[in-house]
Amino acid sequence: MELGRFGVWTSYRSLGEENAGEAASLVEELGFGALWLGGSPQLPALRALLSATERIAVATGILNVWQSDAVQVASDFAQLNGNFPGRVLLGIGIGHPENTSRYAKPLSSMRAFLDGLDGAGSPVPREARCLAALAPKMLALSAERSLGAHTYFMPPDHTRAARTALGPESLLAPELACVLDENAESARATARGYAKLYLGLGNYTRNLLRHGFSDDDIDGGGSDRLIDTIVPHGTAEQVAAAASEHLSAGADHVCVQTVGVRGVPRAEWTALAAALT
């Protein structure tokens, strides 16, 4: 599966499901290699994006294990992949203990879910799935049981460590949120609004502490240093430079997410495509 160096990460919450076809067509027209759909979607949610395009890969970013049945997911994948062969990437994640009372034993639960995909009547191929992974053991499982890892809300230092943990052959596809706004004050305000949720989730904060940040950086909505690293702002060229840092640290593919924009961010995606390519 060819994802290209850059993709777009979005969700129907910000995009509007009614805009799916327009958005996907624009992503393909601009030359991005993949479109990642966030918000814990099930696979049928990708159909409108795939139907509106001809070549790009479309991925779940991510399907939540606790909200999903492996046998049904495998059936959904078989149907979609039959209609759009080689273009569907199943991104799978274990979610966060803060978000579900069912959360337990993330590694063994993920292994069990993967076993379910493998044991289904129409198994999901290893090369058509990737795992949301941040910590070393989940990264190792990503390399062992899937195409690789999709990381989120992490700095280039984490990308560098993730590449080491995955080895040279596995996919490493970090998400990079950004704000196209040259006014530092308003851009950081937008970035902090987006970051608030993630700075309250232990899976993210523990890994930020492992990769160059302190409790002082995390407290109070995030220090300027943390916010500027995780959610870079400025011109499209400045955001492209931040994306390139992830590539230099070992990423194969970076999916950019424009935050603080509702509807199809046509101007932002167009500017980023020009700067990235």
pLDDT in tens, 177-230: 999 999 999 999 999 999 999 999 999 999 999 999 999 999 999 999 999 999
Average pLDDT value for residue range 246-260:
98
CA distance 134 to 100: 19
pLDDT in tens, 201-216: 999 999 999 999 999 9
Q: What is the pLDDT of residue 41?
A: 98
Cβ proximity of 148 and 89 under 8 Å: no
CA distance 260 to 190: 6
Q: Mean of the per-residue pLDDT values for the chain?
A: 97
Average pLDDT value for residue range 52-58:
98
Q: Could you tell me the pLDDT band of residue 1, with boundaries at 50, 70 and 90?
A: confident
Q: Could you tell me the pLDDT band of residue 98, with boundaries at 50, 70 and 90?
A: confident
Extents of the domains making up the chain? 6-180+236-276
Cβ proximity of 123 and 145 under 8 Å: no
- Whether the per-residue pLDDT at 31 is higher than 80: the answer is yes
Q: Which two tokens stand for residue 237?
A: 């060229």
More confident residue, 36 or 101: 36
Q: What is the pLDDT of residue 101?
A: 62
- Whether the per-residue pLDDT at 276 is higher than 90: the answer is yes
pTM > 0.85: yes
Q: What percent of the chain has pLDDT over 70?
A: 100
Q: What is the pLDDT of residue 220?
A: 96
- May I ask the CATH class of domain 6-180+236-276? alpha beta
Average pLDDT value for residue range 247-266:
98
Average pLDDT value for residue range 107-128:
98
